[in-house]
Chains A and B, each alone.
Chain A
Amino acid sequence: MPPSEASPAAHLPLRPVEFEILLTLAHGERHGYAILQETEARSEGALHLETGTMYRALRRLVQGGLVAPTERRPLDGSDDERRRYYAVTPLGLRVASAEAARMARLVSAARAARLLPHPAVP
């Protein structure tokens, strides 16, 4: 049973690596290598995740109950037996949303401070 931190706020703020991992996992289960690949691809090369750091962050997320390792395997049987998948938990989703909201507030604050241009209103 993962430790149940009832309130997502207790997990905030997330480290950037952790937020990136949650963002990636929000699309579905991934193994570690896939998480690394996708995260780097999403940032279009702007972010370079160190492999070990990513795996450690992943474990911290598991320990916090935001991510759960699963033993489910793809049904086509093509997969390697040793592969370990990770999935975001409902709590992890709520934490990620809360973190996104927090960032959105930061962004609007940055706009208010004229640090960012206002988005073009369509």
Chain B
Amino acid sequence: VSILPPGVRRAFRLARRRPRIEEEVDAEIAFHLEMRAAELSARGLSSEAARVEARRRFGDVDQWSARMSAVDRERAAGERRTEWLSDAGQDLRFALRAWRRAPLFALLAVVTLALGIGANAAVFGVVKSVLLDALPYADADRLVRVYARFEASKLERSSISPGAAADIAARMKSFARAGSFNFSPFDLAYVDEAGARVLTGASVAGDYFATLGVRPALGRALGPADGPTNHGMLSHAAWQREFGGDPGVLGRTIRIERQPIEIVGVLPRGYVGPMGEADLVFQMDLASRARARGGRDQHYLGVVGRLARGVTPAAAQRELDRLAGELAREHPQTDHGRTFVALPLRDSLVGDTRTPLLVLMASAGLVLLITCANLAGALLSRTISRRKEFAVRVSLGARRGRLVRQLLTESTLLSLAGAAVGLGLALAGLSVLRRLALPELPPYADLSLDRGAVLVTLLAALVTGLAFGLAPALSAGRSQPQGMLRESTRGTSEGRRSRQLRGLLVSAQIALSLSLLVGAGLLVRSLWAMANAPLGFEPAAVLTARVQLPPASYRTPAERSVFFRQLHERLAALPGVRGVASVTQIPSPTMSSNVLAIEGRTLEGDGPTFIPYMAVSDDYFALMAIRLRAGRVFGPEDGPDAPPAIVISETMARRYWPNGNALGARVRISPHTAERWGVVVGVVNDVRVDPALPVPAPLAYATNRQDDLWNGRDFLLKTRGDPLALLPAAQRALASLDPAVPLRNPQPLQAIVDERLAGRRLPVLLMTAFGALALLLASVGIYALFAAMAAAREREFGVRVALGSTRGDIAALVVRQGGAWMALGLAGGVVGITVVARFVAGLLYGVRPFDPVALGIAVAVLVASAAVALVVPVRRAMRADPIQVLR
């Protein structure tokens, strides 16, 4: 029943269900027929004859009715369209006006949303780049990576020997093609007119490029025929950087490590191999490497295969299992105890980053949920203060639907503005991540936001806007104009339903924040445990750099030894150097391993037992502060003719000589012990090469007086003060011996160690930031809830005080009312924690998923923040002045 005259309603273009168009048309026709019939009757026709004649003159009534209706419907649709557009325009103008009226609210909302949406966009950018983006290979879903598995050594994903790689390529019917590659890029000295530089190189073998389906940008791709030649391909980046993108580079010969290399092709932009970025790619001669010494027992190749048409990965795995059996029978010495594992190439590239990424994505999602709950609460209270406005609009004829739509427009506009700012934040965040060049991320991940990611973000923003705008909008739509307009101006009390809704929203924020805080706490504790577990060596004030001697100039081990000894002396003589040591490779998670044999023992398990191995100079243990546990370290007595001396780590001693009788044991561990047994002369402290692994790996050392086969060594300089300050002097010392040999990859040992933790640190940092943001939002939510509650009951409090309640009673009243919601939130948080703890369990180190410390701190921080948020509203309630209120 309308209380307004129709003219007013029409003036506001509101409310009134249109009668159906057909009915109107039929009514018009009926009226026409009636008028005609009446006229005909007046001329003397009988009423029946008049009706018939009227219809006859009109023509086909049904057909005309249909045609008239069609025109009307078209017009109505057009009107609805324009009306919708004009309403939308009106809604937008209203929304902007609402912003202008409350600029601080709008600003805070946009900032909150920008943080929430930005966090999601940035994390999604990473997730998309790593998990969703197409690999830079053709039809990459058909590609698998083959690993060797050595059961006795518990190596699940190991490299493959050239012999086995050649056998896989030749015999696997499940693979349409297969190729191999050296598992990590290496440095190359490149000399041209501009001087000596270091390029990164990678070697590939077999049908590598054809398997990946990589088409060259220029020239041709390397293939098996290039094996015995000195042919190379440039990466697109190196072609641009070193040769200015000159197409004439094809056919040019450049000198790499004093070898002439002919460039036959340039790789396409965006190509990156499974082994990582490399400037120059060579073809290895797989057949000759397979035949050469170590062709079956040195495992250093990665293998990729392209599944043949119609072959499932499972079928390929079964064939690999059969092949492993055949090879073990054919080459029992080298191939026994080794099986193969095929993994989809993407899974192998994504590796261990999947879980942290998903944890981060989920955390960002939680932050967005909290943002929604927070803004929903804030908008609800704004809705309460705007109830008069809505009541006026409703009584002037606004449909509730229009009000709901109006408020949804406002919230959507807020969230879109938030998304725009958030996208900017995400782009900035991603560019920071790109600069960090995290080694944990797969090489193909470009960490960018493409159009799809932007669309997903905008969609998320729209959903967010609807999510946090819906409750306030519906609550505004329910407002009762009559009551509202009659109520006194002081009437700011809130409906029961809306108060409950806000309480629930705050509970949800508390629950979500608590879950996030516990997750972040667990990760922080893990990282702390990782960073503080003793490394077993002292990385501070040590400069490391690699010296790689070109085999063409330094042919014999003796020549290399002389060079290294001279370099050692010159480095030791530099001012500021407290000690010098050299090793075949600095300890790292990817250091190479050798096969262990112990005299008179059959080692447990099937197949070879690999032990990480390095040859070191005498002062290595002293310089690294690796302590001797038993026996002795290396010295001048371990000359080339003395029996090969071996030092082992504590873990290795415990594992293979549990009775403590390692000293004096006779072992084989490296090529120089192949002819004569080596003797264990000492046991040293464990070193943790991978800070993310709780248990140190066994490690065996030889002296480079005896194992002198290696072309390169890492030098370690213990310095006074900043290690990098010594770099120019070290470079001059090297150049004075041979100007063509560059000092490669110089960096402080501390930086290398830190970098290994960096990949672990980032998710922890981000999750902590998310937790802090969640905490802040939840605190604001708690504050707002209590403030509104205290304000709504101010009059009541005044009465209570007048009747003799103490201030304490009032405070207890407020806390009790809000405390219930907080308790509910904490209870919900417990549920969240159990989910979170299970989710992050795989990322924990030295911390149990239900770590009481992390739990306690999270709850304490949350309760403390809530208490701070409570102070102001409770004080306001306590100050309720009966005289002021009751006047």
Q: Of A16-24, A50-58, A94-102, A109-117, which binds chain B?
A: A50-58
Q: Does A108 contact B (CB under 8 A)?
A: no
* Contacting pair A59 B64 (CB below 8 A): no
* Contacting pair A84 B68 (CB below 8 A): no
* Contacting pair B28 A56 (CB below 8 A): no
Q: Cα distance A50–B57 when bound, in Å?
A: 8
* Contacting pair A56 B31 (CB below 8 A): no
Q: Cα distance A104–B119 when bound, in Å?
A: 72
* Contacting pair A80 B58 (CB below 8 A): no
A-B contact count (CB 8 A): 59
* Contacting pair B71 A51 (CB below 8 A): no
Interface bits A55-78 vs B (CB < 8 Å: 1, else 0): 110011011000000000000000
* Contacting pair A55 B64 (CB below 8 A): yes
A to B CB contacts below 8 Å, 29 in the list = A1-B79, A1-B86, A2-B79, A3-B78, A31-B31, A32-B32, A33-B31, A33-B35, A36-B32, A50-B59, A51-B57, A51-B58, A51-B59, A51-B64, A52-B63, A52-B67, A55-B28, A56-B67, A56-B68, A56-B71, A59-B75, A62-B75, A63-B75, A80-B31, A80-B34, A82-B27, A82-B28, A82-B31, A84-B24
Additional 19 contacts, C-beta under 8 A, given A33-B31, A56-B67:
A1-B83, A2-B79, A32-B28, A33-B32, A33-B36, A51-B59, A52-B59, A52-B60, A52-B63, A55-B29, A55-B32, A55-B68, A62-B75, A63-B74, A80-B31, A82-B28, A83-B31, A84-B27, A84-B28
Q: Cα distance A56–B83 when bound, in Å?
A: 24
Closest CB of chain B to A49's CB: distance in Å? 11
Interface bits A1-30 vs B (CB < 8 Å: 1, else 0): 111000000000000000000000000000
Q: When the two chains form the complex, which single residue of A3, A56, A60, A82 contacts B64, counting CB atoms closer than 8 Å?
A: A56
| B10 closest partner in A (C-beta) | A71
Top 8 nearest A-B pairs by Cβ distance? A52-B64, A59-B71, A82-B27, A33-B35, A63-B75, A51-B58, A33-B32, A52-B59
Interface residues, chain B, with chain A CB atoms under 8 Å away: 24, 27-32, 34-36, 57-60, 63-64, 67-68, 71-72, 74-75, 78-79, 82-83, 86
| B64 closest partner in A (C-beta) | A52
- List residues of chain A with CB within 8 A of the CB of B67: 52, 56
- List residues of chain B with CB within 8 A of the CB of A36: 32
Closest CB of chain B to A73's CB: distance in Å? 12
| B82 closest partner in A (C-beta) | A1
Interface residues, chain A, with chain B CB atoms under 8 Å away: 1-3, 31-33, 36, 50-52, 55-56, 59-60, 62-63, 80, 82-84
Closest CB of chain A to B17's CB: distance in Å? 15
Q: Cα distance A51–B65 when bound, in Å?
A: 11
Closest CB of chain A to B324's CB: distance in Å? 77
Closest CB of chain A to B740's CB: distance in Å? 82
| A60 closest partner in B (C-beta) | B71
- List residues of chain A with CB within 8 A of the CB of B27: 82, 84
| B76 closest partner in A (C-beta) | A63
- List residues of chain B with CB within 8 A of the CB of A31: 31
- List residues of chain B with CB within 8 A of the CB of A52: 58-60, 63-64, 67-68
Q: Cα distance A56–B71 when bound, in Å?
A: 8
Q: Cα distance A51–B63 when bound, in Å?
A: 12
| A83 closest partner in B (C-beta) | B31
Q: When the two chains form the complex, which single residue of A1, A50, A59 contacts B72, counting CB atoms closer than 8 Å?
A: A59
- List residues of chain B with CB within 8 A of the CB of A2: 79
- List residues of chain A with CB within 8 A of the CB of B79: 1-2
Given contacts A1-B82, A1-B83, A33-B35, contact A59 B68 (CB under 8 A): yes
